[in-house]
Amino acid sequence: MKTKIASLCLAAVFSILAFATNSSAAEEGFYDKEHIRGFISIGGDFRGMFPGFQDYINTVPFASGALKHKYGTDTSLYYGAAKYSKFNKFYPGIHFNIGAQYKQFMTWFDINFAITQISERPKSTVTAYAVDSTGVPNGVTSDFPLYDARWFNYGVDWMFGWKLLGENAFFNLIPAVGIGFNMMNIHFTSNYVVTNESSKDETIMRDRYYSTMAATFNAELEARLQFEQFSIGLYGGYRAVRYNELNVEGDNLDTTIFNTDNDGDTWFVGLRIGWTFLSPWEKKQQDKI
């Protein structure tokens, strides 16, 4: 929760500073708003997990424990699990960027999505064994449903970049950094029991996604070819993510018991195409022709 609040506060502070600076700068002639150009771009990339993220994503969705029937008079705890395939450490992502450019300076919002990754269930149900109050199996069995283990994430980074080789160079190098947030969504493999650490109250996982938010830091370098308003670029970089504990039915799933950190760090390389709109000054020049 602290990470989430810090992320939102940082975003708010930067928004206020940027608005105040731009407003006063325009009035004092620091820049000419007639030369501001908007742009959009879309890209696809190939992402690779760092070891911490790989441990996290191949541990938490497969978390298991006691099973319990949600309805009926049977209140026994059952134990049983199935073997799933691990998630690949490489996965595809999609980016949509919208922003503005003034001479060599660029700023934009990078809206990114990770396509849903699935580890299919090995069978439709698992046979679990009931235990007595001492934890010894009592010979009673029951079937519980299994689900595909799934995860996907999405987020937004506020990026700031600089065209190193000039505003209108045919070939350009554009380093950029930014901060933002990311939302991780995880679907567990069955209806496992979650126990509150303080009250010991029990809740049961449902057939749904559970989510957690994280603050992010993003750094990238793009090699771009500019064809007047159209552009194509090859980009790569690093995105640091630190997730909060996953909230499951009102209780935090303590990932430390699984011996994993809440890291989501990735490296990425991809291709994007973009379109830069004409500035008001450029439009006026065209009207004169």
User: What pLDDT sits at residue 70?
Assistant: 75
Structural domains counted in the chain: 1
pLDDT along the chain (289 residues), means of 10: 45 45 51 88 96 92 85 80 93 96 95 96 92 79 94 97 94 97 94 78 88 94 96 97 85 63 91 94 81
User: What pLDDT sits at residue 125?
Assistant: 94
Which domain does 65 fall in, by range? 2-288
H/E element, 57:
helix 51-57
The pTM of the full predicted model, rounded to 2 decimals, is 0.82
Residue 134 is part of a domain; what is its CATH number? 2.40.160.20
Give CB contacts under 8 A, 24+ apart, made by 123-128: 123/82, 126/80, 126/81, 126/82, 126/190, 127/80, 128/67, 128/78, 128/79, 128/80
CA nearest neighbour of 192 among 210, 169, 213:
210
3-state secondary structure of 17: helix
